[in-house]
Amino acid sequence: MSRSPTSNPTLRGLRVAITGGTSGLGLALLRQLHAQGAQVAFVARDAARVAAVAGELAGSHGIAGDVSRKTETHALAIQIASALGGLDVLVNNASSLGPVPLALLADTDCEDLEAALATNLVGPFRLTKALLGALSASARAGRRPLVINIGSDAALTPYAGWGAYGASKAALVHLSRTWDEELRDHHVRVLAVDPGDMDTPLHALAVPDADPATLKRPEASAREIVELIERHREPAEARA
């Protein structure tokens, strides 16, 4: 099947994996990268939804799994690398709010805090670690591999009720900075990106009364991330 006429030479053939790829920002990013010629694998928990999205985007690779579960990490990594024949970009996008409805920290169950950390911090850590071999191989081939961890302004601003989510995202941002420093000599970059407050199912779950018109569209945030990937892939002299 031929690619969309919007296929982008910079992104064509780029091997990208996205977690949380069946809704919100993940789905918007998946659609845009697929339309521009990237090879994309995506992970989400709902197998039926994964199959539906994969059917919509011919040539994409849907993988049903839960990044928060340690026992699934290596299987997910193997499926991603096998489906794409390697990996150039990993987007750790899957997120958990923790308690729903949102709760003050004093009213947050330990299990809800653990759930937020498992999905938002430990899951990206495990999956990135399991895919470092594929990312390093991409670097050796001169393909400029990149890991993008989706952060939040809640990582910096202490919003009441968002404690579990904010703490997990703050840790993810710092993890990203540390890993970027440690992997720089191996030519693997790790960046944390705040996509802004978006009109997504996750935000609706957190703030049911929010007016969607006041929120950023996930497609707009996805375009910004695609542009970031494009800039990263440009030769250094082109970026100067």
CB atoms within 10 A of CB 86: 18
Confirm whether 159 is a catalytic residue: no
Contact 62, 42 (CB under 8 A): yes
Report the alpha-carbon distance of residue 183 to residue 49 in Å, rounded: 35
CB atoms within 10 A of CB 34: 23
Q: Which long-range contacts (CB under 8 A, 24 or more apart) does 185-190 make?
A: 186/136, 186/139, 187/139, 187/144, 187/145, 188/132, 188/135, 188/136, 188/138, 188/139, 188/145, 188/146, 188/147, 189/144, 189/145, 189/146, 189/147, 189/232, 190/128, 190/146, 190/147, 190/149
> Which one is catalytic: 165, 183, 203, 221?
165
Catalytically active residues are: 165
